[in-house]
Amino acid sequence: MNLSLIDILFLYSLISIWLLLVLNIVLTYFGYLYQNELNSTDIDLERDIRDYPFVSILIPAHNEGKVIGHTVKAMLELDYPNDRYEIIVINDNSNDNTESEIEKVLDHYIDREIIVINNKQTTGPKGKSNALNVGLKRAVGEFVVVYDADNTPNNQALKYLVYGITRNGKYGAVIGKFRTRNKERNTLTRFINIETLSFQWMAQAGRWKLFRLCTIPGTNFIIRKSILEKLGGWDVRAIAEDTEISFRIYALGYKISFMPFAVTYEQEPETLKVWFKQRTRWVSGNIYVMIKFIRYSLKERQFNILFDLFYFFSVYILFLSSIIVSDTIFILGLFTDVSVSLNGNYLVVWLLTYIIFVLQITIALSMEKGEVNNKNLRLILIMYFTYCQLWLIVSIKGMYTNIKSRFLGKETKWYKTERF
């Protein structure tokens, strides 16, 4: 059978889309199994944590006056012995009221102390990685925990992270779960909440259950300080510093475990402008990591790094190009005589794709109390046509940003999400 160029491109897009769809279905299924397994596990924090190790909590902050007070208050109220953890806020060249907001909170906790490092630089903020490295130099804890400046963890989050990392010496880090604090603000934040629960946390749970593999998120995780020192801290050129350091932890032979009972609530973008800026940073940062580690992973044949690189490649390259190709063929078919000559009922294939997409997200949300409701179900039905399509623009912009930065040799900046 002679295939035209249009036929080949169509088959490429069809196979690529289904490849990622099947992968997400598998991860969701095993994530579901892991969540059920954990729910049936007898975890008694008071019994299982015999000695409380000293922990250093790092909070990088740049112009976080709107949220830093709530975050510091949540850290002070963690259910963990007060003399067994320290809080270090790295105030990275803020020009707002970040420092004064911290002082206001401390006025109500006169018996507590917080280390505030006012990182003043005439050239401006140097980025989250640099701020974390500044805090790391001051940290004295056996373990380091990182929270973003807009986070309010539940009061047992730190205990669950400590419980997770102390039960296995091969765990280099343990990650918790973050939830959307402002999910009811508008339609965008509701979409972000659904995305977080389905495409991020169920995928993390599935990867851990299936491959004993996780990737550090930007917040709510614990890591051994000895590992950070061995690695030389965070890569200051990486704007996706969480993914980058995950790969270097893999390379040392450690695992990154998932403890979803350690929950923090964070503020998500409330406008498309802020969302685009944040997600573009994610894409650009992850492409930087892909390029940095592809040669190493092929040479060393490390499965965990190779799997994550394949996942990023399938999302940012295969899926993106497939959607562009399929959309282009569809539009050409409407206005020209260009068409796919392959036999088959492709409408049925598309409908099946859509149904599986909806079911996958619904199953993921069913693991979270109160998330399967009429409002979310209506959003899931239109998510494929709306929110998911925005990722095409984000991915293209992220790639362009990364390429532009490489050619111009631009210095890494603090890409900070605007707070509300």
Asked whether residue 77 is domain-assigned, the answer is: yes
Asked whether residue 345 is domain-assigned, the answer is: no
Structure tokens at 116: 């505030």
- Cα dihedral 121/123/124/130 (nearest 10): -70
Tell me: pLDDT of 415 over 70: no
Give tens-digit pLDDT for 121-147.
Answer: 655 556 899 999 999 999 999 999 999
Contact (CB, 8 A) for 13 and 326: yes
Asked whether residue 112 is domain-assigned, the answer is: yes
How many Å apart are CA 73 and CA 85, to the nearest integer? Answer: 14
Q: Name which of 43-52, 269-278, 289-298, 353-362 the model is least confident about.
A: 289-298
**Which tops the pLDDT comparison, 166 or 344?**
166
Asked whether residue 222 is domain-assigned, the answer is: yes
Whole-number pLDDT of residue 304: 79
How many Å apart are CA 398 and CA 328, to the nearest integer? Answer: 21
Nearest in space to 394 (alpha carbons), one of 297, 305, 278: 278
Asked whether residue 109 is domain-assigned, the answer is: yes
Asked whether residue 215 is domain-assigned, the answer is: yes
Number of domains comprising the chain: 1
How many Å apart are CA 62 and CA 87, to the nearest integer? Answer: 16
Secondary structure (3-state) at 145: strand
Nearest in space to 386 (alpha carbons), one of 188, 247, 227, 249: 188
Tell me: pLDDT of 378 over 90: yes
Whole-number pLDDT of residue 255: 95
Asked whether residue 48 is domain-assigned, the answer is: yes
Give tens-digit pLDDT for 92-123.
Answer: 888 888 889 999 998 888 889 899 998 776 55
Give tens-digit pLDDT for 227-271.
Answer: 999 999 999 888 889 999 999 999 999 999 999 999 999 999 999
The C-alpha angle with vertex 396 and arms to 394 and 401, in degrees rounded to 5, equals 90
Using CA atoms, how far residue 369 sits from 14, 103, 196, 197, in Å, is 35, 36, 15, 11
Q: With 0-12 CB in 10 A as exposed, 13-18 as middle and 19+ as buried, what is 351?
A: exposed
Q: Which residues form the domain of 79?
A: 42-270
Whole-number pLDDT of residue 413: 59
CATH code (residue 149): 3.90.550.10
Rounded to two decimals, what is the model's pTM?
Answer: 0.89
Percent of the chain with pLDDT over 70: 95
How many CA atoms lie within 13 Å of 98's alpha carbon, on the beta-carbon side?
A: 23
Whole-number pLDDT of residue 122: 52
How many Å apart are CA 197 and CA 36, to the nearest integer? Answer: 15
Asked whether residue 157 is domain-assigned, the answer is: yes
